[in-house]
Amino acid sequence: MIDSRAIIDPKAGLSSDVHVGPFTIIGPDVTIDSGTWIGSHVIIEGITAIGKNNHVNHHAVLGAAPQDLKYRGEPTKLTIQDDNIIREFTTLHRGTPGGGGETKIGNRCMLMAYVHVAHDCHIGNEVIIANAVNMAGHVTIEDFAIVGGMCAIHQFVRIGRYAFIGGATPLAQDVIPFGLVAGPRGELKGINIVGLKRRGFESERRDLLKRVVRDLIGSEMNVSQVLNGLKDEGLYDHPDIRELMDFIRQSERGLCL
């Protein structure tokens, strides 16, 4: 159902069962797939593709131009996949040519009120981002991560799978997969035990990850020595450890430790 008070450009592509609330404005280059619910006073503009069964609450702004002084109106885009919840006053900006041209939200994510997703950010699947999280451009948040409320995330930071970020934590460096980072300096405190249990990680997997993280933050070895030790033990063949080691080696901003 489309409310008669909504303003929808005739060039926009909406599936027949999309709900659009009053005073919402949808631009000509927007596509919205079946089952999606759009509340009131929402603005959706630019080249924005919204998938199936999304729920976009009142006063959200999707697909606005990036806040980047280098942007000159190029045809970049915002892509939102399926089954996401986007709460009130959330802002998602489209990409820039220098960042690949696309901001992307995966499947089954929840973005709580007042979240800001800047240009060229990539959010994976089943990610939870709590109220008033603000991220700069080019941030990557991988699958199953949880970001606590009021976190500020520096540009180009990468957050690994299954990570947990405590509320009001500033992030200027990468967060390892499975890790728990918190505090006013964004420090690695251990592994995300509660989250891993909820995701079905058996005790043996958790204990191994706990040992590796303990070596990273509690031993006299540096990161390279820890990684070399894991390789010497043959643990690179373990998929969790391989993921952790590869993430660390690929980090360009350094790690929250």
Which positions are catalytic? 119-120, 137
Question: Which strands make up the sheet holding 102-105, listed edge to edge?
Answer: 13-14, 30-32, 47-50, 77-80, 102-105, 122-123, 140-141, 158-159
Output the six-digit token pair for 165.
């970020």
Q: Which residues contact 7 (CB under 8 A, 6 or more apart)?
A: 23, 24, 25, 26
Element containing residue 210 per DSSP (H, E): helix 203-218
Name the 3-class secondary structure at 76. Answer: coil
Q: Which among 75, 196, 208, 90 has a CA at the least distance from the CA of 145?
A: 196
Q: d(Cα 123, Cα 159) in Å, to the nearest integer?
A: 10
